[in-house]
Amino acid sequence: MSHHPSADQIVDLYDRHASIWNKLRANHFIDNKWIERFASLLTPSANVLDLGCGSGQPVARYLIETGASVVGVDSSRQMIALCSGQFPAQEWIHADMRTLALNRQFDAILAWDSFFHLKPDDQRQMFPIFRRHASPNALLMFTSGPSYGEALGIFQGETLYHASLDPREYAAQLHDHGFELLEHVVEDADCGGHTVWLGRRLP
């Protein structure tokens, strides 16, 4: 399928607006329900891979405050710079999640409000990457759209691209890559309308 031109402008948009995004997002935590749920399932001092970590606020900040060790990855240099300045004790990596190869495994992987910026084919290619970076029994949580297709939002007056696979395909991808589905909620009204997938890698 052809894609809206904004699909290739996401990193540039976030780079240019990183500071204002950080200010708007830092204390805007209407999605805390699922981040708290995710954190409640972590083992003490768990190492978490946060894919598309943004500025680290408020999600990584919350995980750090609960005692987790966070390795954050983002394609935006400006976002990673904000993370490094705000949370210098954690590890922050400027990289594209679509080509990530850290040769490490983590107790949990989070791709919150980031994975859904990828084109559908790129989302499909992420599941082997999730698998390679997940320890046995590792948690995996990500957000998606409610149905297959593209959705265009607006940030700072510019088009912001989102896409989603069909829910049945997400379920199949998780199964095929060794993850059991723990919870799935479509457009959770208690979480700002997020569609959430929570899984665990089988031993």
Q: Is the CB of residue 37 less than 8 Å from the CB of residue 58? A: no
Q: Is the CB of residue 54 less than 8 Å from the CB of residue 114? A: yes
Please give the domain boundaries of the chain with CATH numbers for all domains: 5-24+32-201 (3.40.50.150)
Helix (H) or strand (E) holding 154: strand 149-155
The ranges of the chain with pLDDT < 50 are none
pLDDT in tens, 136-193: 999 999 999 999 999 888 888 888 889 999 999 999 999 999 999 999 999 999 999 9
The residues pairing with 199 across neighbouring beta strands, listed in sequence order, are 140, 181
- pLDDT in the model for residue 10: 77
Number of H helices, E strands in the chain: 7, 9
Which residue from 25, 43, 32 is spatially nearest to 107, judged by alpha carbons?
43
- The residue type of 105 is Q
Q: Give every CB contact of residue 154 below 8 A, 6+ residues apart in sequence.
A: 160
